[in-house]
Amino acid sequence: MSKTKHRDAVPSDALVIFGVSGDLAHKKIFPALYAMVKHGILNVPVVGIASSQWSVAQLRKRARDAIKESGKIDDKPALDHLLSLLGYVSGDYNDPHTFTALKAALGDARRPAHYLAIPPVLFEAVVKGLGVAGLADQARVIVEKPFGRDLASAQQLNRLLRSVFTEDAIFRIDHYLGKEAIMNILYFRFANSFLEPIWNRNCVASVQITLAEDFGVKGRGAFYESAGCLRDVIQNHLFQIVALLAMEPPAYQGYGAVHSEKAKVFQAMRPLRPDDVVRGQYAGYRKEPDVAKHSDVETFCALRLSIDSWRWEGVPWYLRSGKCLAATAAEVIVELKPPPQRLFDDSAPADGRANYLRFRLSPNTAVALAARVKRAGKEFVGDQRELYLLEQQPGEARPYERLLGDAMAGNGALFTREDAVEAAWAVVDPVLEKHHRVHSYKPGSWGPKQADALIAADGSWYNPLLEKVTK
């Protein structure tokens, strides 16, 4: 979006990281800060805060170790500069003295960005503490997902945030929206005129989105027992992709217009019913640490989604995600309807695959269009081939680098708005508790066979990396 739309936003003059001793800071935030300094995006104090009894020297060692583990240190002056920006406050989030110490550590900074890299159970203490201490007046708050675990808790969280911060000062991070491939969906849709005439119920037969991982819960059994795949991946990551694909053209340049159109997509989604959802659990999950012996939590979820709008009426959207699947990949397939008249014998191929547009999101990125072309010779016989429009691009910014920089600059384009969060929860709320039991599936497969039955009326799943389409 045009940067001129954000010219009135005043940049933050400090960054506060609550939970700086945690795993998220170690794996994602410190490497992102290092990249931001290298690219000239970060040059303000960074104050870490946690309950750990650390010194500033210990925090700097933690940061250096995290950056080294994430990749090579290729700019020592940038690393030294980042370490010089770091400060630390140790304290209990329920103790007002902690926020007094934070205020002192911020010094002359008056517009800090507070990043809540902490469990949601601690949000209330921190948000209220910031408000009482007068640290929220000109500040921004960056909230890490999950934004609630159902509609009621999402509404409660939004009320809490809005009691201290204005909506335009609240930045809800979903790191998936910071990926280059996700941003390209929005750009590709509205920067090209040839798409609009076919991007609707008249030409689109169905849409599939797959986000697969070939590994299990990796020791995070306790977290998964409280979340499950539907909450952890589909309600946020995959729904955000659906919104970018299904939204109407924004009325003007500016992230507010994008947010409004995305929210309308969630509001048009038909609430899910149990028969719309297939839940799976990989064999062996119940033997993971901190997992109940008779757990009914899903590690795989597939669903059929309907969007009751003029553009998408009658077009099925199929979403699936899971752990211990055959590959680690994320892909979108927009399948088009076949030609209305069969002029050639092979225009309806044996595998049933019509023309499609493919967005490969990971492990590499690509945009490809599949079309049939004639083989050389007298006969009218052809093959379906992919025209690659985009492949992996060098120099892509990491999601957290991009999102932290945008939040501190006051650019809300890649963040989630209150009404969209609540509308998305309203779609899945009916099946969070009322659903069919999980079906077991074999690790290394593409999930339970019941997921194939879910999509059978409209074909079959496209399996990322395994599709043998000639390039």
The residue type found at 7 is: R
Query: Tokens 């553009």 identify what position?
Result: 311
47/51 Cα distance (integer angstroms): 14
User: In terms of Cα–Cα distance, which of 356, 358, 386 is closest to 373?
Assistant: 386
- Three-state secondary structure string covering 175-214: HHHHCHHHHHHHHHHHHCCCCHHHCCCCCEEEEEEEEECC
Label residues 78-97 b or e (16+ Cβ within 10 Å = b).
bbeebbebbbbbbbebeeee
229/234 Cα distance (integer angstroms): 7
Residues labelled catalytic? 237
Which residues are CB-contacts of 451 (< 8 A; sequence separation ≥ 6)?
278, 280, 300, 302, 320, 461
Extract the tokens encoding 170.
Answer: 């609240």
The string of DSSP codes covering 42-101 is --S-EEEEESS---HHHHHHHHHHHHHHHS----HHHHHHHHHHEEEEE--TT-HHHHHH
235/115 Cα distance (integer angstroms): 23
CA-only gyration radius of the chain, Å: 24
Type and span of the H or E element at 127? helix 123-132
How many of the other CB atoms lie within 10 Å of CB of 471? 8
